[in-house]
Amino acid sequence: MTEQLKLIKNETATQKVGGDDRQTTDEDREAAVSALSTAISSWYVRKDSKYFAVDRLNVKLSKDDVQHACLIRIKEEYGKMYCEPAILKDVFRRTFEAKHFDREQAIPVWSGGMVCRPRHDDRYVWRNGTVEVNTWKKPAYRDEKDVKADFGLAGHFLDVFFTRDEERKKFLDWLSWSLQNEDDKPAWAPLLYSETKGSGKSTLCKLVARLFGEENTLVQNSVEKLTGRFNMPVLTSKLVISEEVNLKGGSSQGNALKTYITETATVSERKGVDAEKVKQFCCFLFTTNHLPLWIEAADRRYYLIEVDHDGHASGQNALEFSGIVGGLHEFMQDDRKIAALYRALMERKQSPGFNARTLNVVDDATPLMRRVHGASEATRKTLLRECLAERGIHALPEQDIVKIVKGDLDGNISSTKHLMSELGWWKDKVKWGGCDYVRAIWVEKGYCADRGKLKGPDGFEENLAEHFGMATDVRLAFD
């Protein structure tokens, strides 16, 4: 709101039309027309002779509908003085009909675009005479004055919630960096896991949403909707929270999440509007009660934290923790306390070695990460060993191994050598199938390739090309 508009609103209570206190002058009228025109122009955009409220861009309105809505809103926010017919007539002419160069005094033409521009206080991003609507809003608590940095009760909650100091520090590094660099985004996301319910994961999510602004936060617990075709609401949010995440390894939803977390430019789509590439600044925060074995080994996109304090719903300190959570909910209702917490996070320096762009899955690994990554690798190795043995496969071209590991087992190409070596296989380069150049193959221990033949124990001998033909059966076994 402009300073002129604030002044006029403050004067509304003491000024009256018709001479009760003083006569309304031409200057008064022009000031009112200008201020109200600016206000209406910030409330609505226009496109194809239809109007859209900037907070509900999916609903088309007629000019008559908008003007009726404006009358009610003007009366509620500015009082009767500004409902004088002559003033309203000039306001509506200036904002809806007149063609002039003052873009703050006319409802702008909407390009159909939506963008999230953190720290950009204007609701519009102008481009070639049209506007994109900025979905980001400055949280109201940030207007609090004379606030000192203080974690308050939130600090006590975090001390209890995180049972390992390194995990608490890493989470606060992520949170403070994301707030300090709000017009940027980290390339990894915390994932909070607990076997038990009532551990405070949702409460922590609400606290984080309060800091970023609830109006800038999307809470979407359906992974299908989160990663679906019409993803514009996701990519025009600053913070995205998804609870009870439970995916399948290699699923399309999991791959979409990877893109959202790491990429700064992503294809986005709204119903009835062509897909477009948008710049996005999303931070992601996930929770789950399911052990996330769908996360592949060495995945750098998720920082896994096990919430295992004894204050959960059935824990021995449940009553004490419940009191802390209740107090934190009251804490979150106080703008000044949230402002103090925000200031503390804005002043916080990240730990040495912190990197918002990537996770070091060795140095940064939590006990849960080692558990999940180890289980993922062990599962892949077991599946591959059993399938190869069942099919009687003793040698495979490397290109087929790569397809199996990456496509069927959802592993990394770089893990192929490690995985096959652990199975006791060795790498060789041979000619087969009539080709006059060598190609890489993997051979089981005890077997060897010689002159187009695969030879092994107990007089085993088989045409190499025919043996490789069974690779199709190996891949089918994973479908």
Q: Which of the four pLDDT bands, split at 50, 70 and 90, describes residue 436? A: confident
For residue 135, what pLDDT is reported? 93
3-class DSSP assignment, residue 396: strand
DSSP strand E in 74-215: where?
Answer: 110-115, 124-127, 130-134, 189-193
How is residue 117 written in tokens?
Answer: 């521009």
Crossing angle of helices 152-161 and 335-347, in 10° steps, is: 70
**Would you say the pTM of this structure is higher than 0.85?**
no
Q: How many CB atoms lie within 10 A of CB 431?
A: 14
Q: What is the mean pLDDT of the chain?
A: 86
CATH of span 152-359: 3.40.50.300
Q: Which of the four pLDDT bands, split at 50, 70 and 90, describes residue 14? A: very low
Contact 376, 368 (CB under 8 A): no
For residue 19, what pLDDT is reported? 39
Q: What is the DSSP annotation of 414-473?
A: GGHHHHHHHTTEEEEEE--TT-SS-EEEEEETT-EEETTEEE-GGG-EEEHHHHHTTHHH
**d(Cα 357, Cα 363) in Å, to the nearest integer?**
15
Strands 453-455 and 448-450: antiparallel
**d(Cα 202, Cα 190) in Å, to the nearest integer?**
13
Q: Which of the four pLDDT bands, split at 50, 70 and 90, describes residue 13? A: very low
The 10s digit of each residue's pLDDT in 369-403 is 988 887 776 677 777 888 788 888 899 998 888 88
Burial of residue 198 (CB within 10 Å: 0-12, 13-18, 19+) is middle
The 10s digit of each residue's pLDDT in 30-63 is 988 999 999 999 999 999 999 999 999 989 999 9
**d(Cα 352, Cα 173) in Å, to the nearest integer?**
10
Q: Which of the four pLDDT bands, split at 50, 70 and 90, describes residue 368? A: very high
Domain coordinates in residue numbering, the chain: 3-136, 152-359, 372-476
Contact 297, 377 (CB under 8 A): yes
Q: Which of the four pLDDT bands, split at 50, 70 and 90, describes residue 12? A: very low
Contact 238, 136 (CB under 8 A): yes
Task: State yes or no: pLDDT of 468 exceeds 90.
Answer: no
For residue 309, what pLDDT is reported? 95
pLDDT cut 70: percent of the chain above it:
87
The least confident of 264-278, 304-318, 393-407 is 264-278
Task: State yes or no: pLDDT of 252 exceeds 90.
Answer: no
Q: Which of the four pLDDT bands, split at 50, 70 and 90, describes residue 213? A: very high
Q: Which of the four pLDDT bands, split at 50, 70 and 90, describes residue 409? A: low
- Return the sign of the alpha-carbon dihedral for residues 273, 275, 279, 283: positive
Contact 398, 420 (CB under 8 A): no
Give the closest residue to 451 by CA, choosing from 443, 459, 462, 442: 462
Crossing angle of helices 335-347 and 165-180, in 10° steps, is: 100
For residue 6, what pLDDT is reported? 47
